[in-house]
Chains A and B, each alone.
Chain A
Amino acid sequence: MNSQLKWKFVLILIVLVVCIYGVVGQPAFPTSLAQVKDNIAKRIQLGLDLKGGSHLVLQVQLEEAIGQRCDEAIDDLTKQLHDKNIGFGEIRRIDDTNILVRDLETNSSGAFRDLVTNQFPDWSMAPAAGETNGYQLTLKPSVIADLRQAAMNQTLETITRRINALGLTEPTIAFTGRGDDEILIQLPGVGDPTAAKEVIQAGGQLQLVRVADGPFRSEAEALAQHGGILPAGTIIVPGKSDSAGPSKDSGQLFYILDRIPIVTGQDLRSADANPSTEMPGQYEVDFKLSTTAAARFGPFTEAQAAIGGRMAVVLDHQVYEAATIQSRIEDSGRITGSFSQESAQNLALVLRAGALPASIKYLEERTVGPSLGADSIREGVRASLGSIMVVMIFLVIYYRLSGVNAVVALALNLVILVAFMAYVGAVLTLPGIAGVILTIGMGVDSNVLVFERIREELRNGKVPANAVSTGFDRAFLTIIDTHVTTVVSAVFLFLFGTGPVKGFAVTLVIGLIANVFTSIYVSRAIFDFHLSRMDRQAQLSI
């Protein structure tokens, strides 16, 4: 064997060792066959379609977050206009991003423009069409983009915290889709996502608010008590719509509450589920406030206790509890409302993880049961192995010794493919198996191309060594063309495709690169080795 050939085999051997080590040698070096199996199972990550689990796609209702900003601006603007004594007819919300201010006093237009320019830099201002002295404020596109981004990031972080608190194994939570408002959640091994979905979807907006008046039997009754107009800075909030609640009188109650809360969920230091002291068998959620919030809360409760004021615990725009403040409260509170242990624990978890900036809507839900995943693997692997065996046997019968060469190249191709997937942490999915099958097909094709070409050259009367060398040279161009074409298409599929199509593209690209190496470099080296040992005029077994 000449030295060049020797180095070729050294390189092939290194690749082989690195690949086999990559598949079976980690995380711990195996000492038994069972451990080898265990390592393989650990190294090859399976997609949800093969191992079972839940796949959820949800959409964040970003308009809510933007609309909320609009409402805040209206509140703020109204207050400032009052403070600065700028008279106006009406401030109205046109839609989520537009505010209309009508009938400003003629002489205060300048003051109004100054106020908006200085105090509301997020809004652009233009005279409103069809109004004599009115202005339309529009939220600037850059601000909207920032708001959306911030809301998406906050939603992702919140959901991640909640799911991590549920203690599920290896969840995936990521942005997805063409639109910029979708989040993908994958929960391996979760056969029924109902419980997880509830925790993910819970709003988790906690507020402690002063009660202005109530409760009332209906919204109309609440309004009637105040002559049809709510006191400034208040809103009507419904009570918890749970008929099984502790309140004896059935039916919904309504409260008039301050619009601005004293304490919100962001002020929480901790939240825990505990058995209720008053209602045996039921649970409540006890929470503690941060020091800064407590510094606000203490004086407030002290002042309210003196005048018999009341306070409401509001969760996701529902009053859970409204009670008279008895004395100064420093930093703790509780939420009651006929919770089971599980629902109380989930609520505590959601409160700890923080609120969602906007509500969410599920767009897609797929659950693959573990038995189906196991079947898919078994059948997919069995079918793939079965067909590979058939192909290999045929190659050996048809091409004799050279067929063995092709079998070695194919086997090495598979080993490299699997090892590469293990090293980069690629996930094997059902479409990924399709990619493996296409790889095998193209691997067979490369070998057939080369062998047919060698046969042709032999028929033209060349000696084996020349025939082999010409055969490889000629087939090389074809192999490169076919492989590059397919890789080009796979790259496009990866860039523009969705999940399953991406999985297909990944295995395909890896497999094809491995294939060029095995069917040209390795196969050629084996041929050269064989030729170097046989008589120059002897027949080639092909």
Chain B
Amino acid sequence: MEFFHGVNVNWMGKAKYFVILSLLLLAVGWISIFRTVVVKHGTLYGIDFRGGTLVYVRFAGPAPIDQIRKGLQQAGLSNSTIQGISDTRSVGSQNDVVIGLEQGQSNESLDAGKQRILDVLQKTFGAAGSGKPDFNSVSAPALAADLTRKDPLSLGAAAGDRYTQLAARLLSARDTDHGGIVTSFDQLKSVEGATPTVVNSLSSDFSLSNFAIRDAEIVGPKVGSQLRRQAILATLYALGGMLVYIAFRFEWVYGAAAVIAVFHDVLITLGFFSLFHFEISLTVIAALLTLVGYSMNDTIVIFDRVRENLRLMRRESFPDIVNKSINQTLSRTILTSGLTFLTVLVLFLMGGEVLRGFSFAMVVGVVVGTYSSFGIAAPIVVVWNKYYGGQGNPIRAGSAAEKRAVVAAARR
């Protein structure tokens, strides 16, 4: 099987359309960023980078968002945000919500906001007045301690770590099989070792609230700005490192062109993030770094071919050589990018909530990154070569391995 054989497109002739396309894409995204940041005084940063409190709650049924909002407002938390989430488990109904709270007063303890949110949830949805601990939030040691004390299996001193293991199995059933929330103690009957006496003992000692805290994040303002600075610095250093390596292997203009191209990709992806209301978190930074890797990879494959063709085709003009190199590698470019796109699309659709921001960045990034290799990086080198390239071979002598490759090619 074979696609894209014998393609002959004059890519460099279309360079100005590429520039217009890029500017359009940049404009769309960055107008959205401008709207968010300047007009609405919002931020693109997620909690990791701006500081604040985030509590991820799962409900047994569809999340009662209006009720939550009312409860939060009554507690004086009107500046909180509530966002419903569709989980892969409950397609169509939103059982999960994320409650966000801006940074509190600096003299408060760090987790004051989290405590207030928990209080509101407990007040609004907690098992009324039972006073028993909630099975959906009990920890393994606490559960094991309760079982050991009640000794429902009448093991006495022979219990050993039987109850510890039973507690672990019960919680694993709660967290893995029932998604972290048990609605009836009968659901635990299928657990190995959970005899009716055990289940009865549990139901007399514990209550079942219809919500569970899945995840809570509190980031202080200092940490937020520190993480932000560090992420930006690390990315810049990484880009610098790539520039130096490519400049060493090719010429500095190739390195500069490649880095400008990936920078362009990151800017466009950030614009799309704002457009589709995703927040920038630490995981998204990992995604941006991944797309930098992909885009760079694509660009280098084309540049490598240009370097090789420059030695073989001494008579042709530089833009023609670049065109030819892009066409020769087009089959590979489309295949690799297509497969990668498929991979991240699967991740976006199946990867669950936690990976959503990450996979969205990748879906956008793979497309933009592939395009920028021939649409941005290659034209930069061509334009530079036109004005400053001179007459000679723009590539300096390569390594011994490259020379061997050239000799082998010449012999053909």
CB-based contact A500/B215 at 8 Å: no
Partner of B139, one of A191, A391, A398: A191
A371 near B: Cβ within 8 Å? yes
Given contacts A362-B110, A375-B352, are A441 and B340 in contact (CB under 8 A)?
yes
Q: Once the chains are docked, how many angstroms separate the CA of A246 from the CA of B140?
A: 35
Dominant secondary structure of chain B at its interface with chain A = helix
Q: Does B213 contact A (CB under 8 A)?
A: yes
Q: Which residues of B contact A460 (CB under 8 A)?
A: 412
| B339 located at the interface, meaning its Cβ lies under 8 Å from any Cβ of chain A in the complex | yes
Query: What separation, in Å, do the CA atoms of A448 and B301 have in the docked complex?
Result: 12
Task: Across the interface, name the chain A residue whose C-beta is closest to B171.
Answer: A370
Contacts of B179 in A (CB 8 A): 371, 375
Chain A residues with CB under 8 Å of B318's CB are none
Task: Decide: A482 and B300 in contact? CB cutoff 8 A.
Answer: yes
Partner of A365, one of B174, B176, B216, B329: B216
How far, in Å, is A508 (CB) from chain B's closest CB?
7
Q: List 18 A-B contacts (CB under 8 A).
A: A365-B111, A365-B216, A366-B217, A372-B180, A375-B179, A376-B354, A379-B354, A387-B343, A398-B2, A441-B294, A441-B343, A452-B335, A473-B405, A486-B293, A488-B242, A489-B242, A489-B296, A504-B290
- Answer whether A363 and B220 are a contact pair too, CB < 8 Å, given A470-B408, A482-B296, A482-B300: yes
Question: Which A residues are closer than 8 A to B by beta carbons?
Answer: 49, 52, 57, 59, 177-179, 189-192, 194, 197, 361-372, 374-376, 379-380, 382-384, 386-388, 390-391, 394, 397-400, 430-431, 433-435, 437-438, 440-442, 444-445, 448-449, 452, 455-456, 460, 470, 473-474, 476-478, 481-482, 484-486, 488-493, 495-501, 504, 508
Q: Mark B193-227, 1 if CB is under 8 A from A, else 0.
A: 00000000000000000001111111110110011
How far is A366 from B300 in the complex, measured between Cα atoms in Å? Answer: 39
Q: Cα distance A362–B222 when bound, in Å?
A: 11
9-residue interface stretch from B25-33, B149-157, B269-277, B278-286: B278-286
Partner of A380 from the list B175, B212, B289, B355 (CB cut-off 8 Å) is: B355
Contact present for A362 and B290 (CB under 8 Å): no
Query: Which B residues fall within an 8 A CB radius of A?
Result: 1-2, 56, 58, 87-89, 109-111, 114, 137, 139-140, 171, 174-176, 179-181, 212-220, 222-223, 226-227, 230-231, 233-235, 237-242, 244-246, 249, 282-283, 285-287, 289-290, 292-294, 296-297, 300-301, 304-305, 308, 328-329, 331-332, 335-336, 339-340, 342-344, 346-347, 350-352, 354-355, 358, 362, 401-402, 404-405, 408, 412
Q: At the interface, is chain A mostly helix, strand, loop or mixed? A: helix
Contacts of B294 in A (CB 8 A): 438, 441
Contact yes or no, A364 B283, CB < 8 A: no
Complex Cα distance A386/B305, Å? 33
Task: Tell me the complex Cα distance, A390–B349, Å.
Answer: 14
Task: Contact check, B286 vs A431: say whether CB atoms are below 8 A apart.
Answer: yes
CA distance A516 to B404 in the complex (A): 20
Q: Which of B222, B234, B301 contacts A501 (CB 8 A)?
A: B234
Instruction: Please determine whether A178 and B230 come into contact, CB atoms closer than 8 angstroms.
Output: yes
- Residues of A near B283 (CB, < 8 A) are 430-431, 434, 500
Instruction: Please determine whether B282 and A431 come into contact, CB atoms closer than 8 angstroms.
Output: yes
- Do the beta carbons of A445 and B336 come within 8 Å of each other? yes
Q: How far is the CA of A192 from the CA of B328 in the complex (A)?
A: 58
Cβ–Cβ < 8 Å partners of A434 in chain B: 283, 286-287, 290, 358
| A445–B297 CB distance below 8 A | yes
Q: Which residues of A contact B401 (CB under 8 A)?
A: 476-477
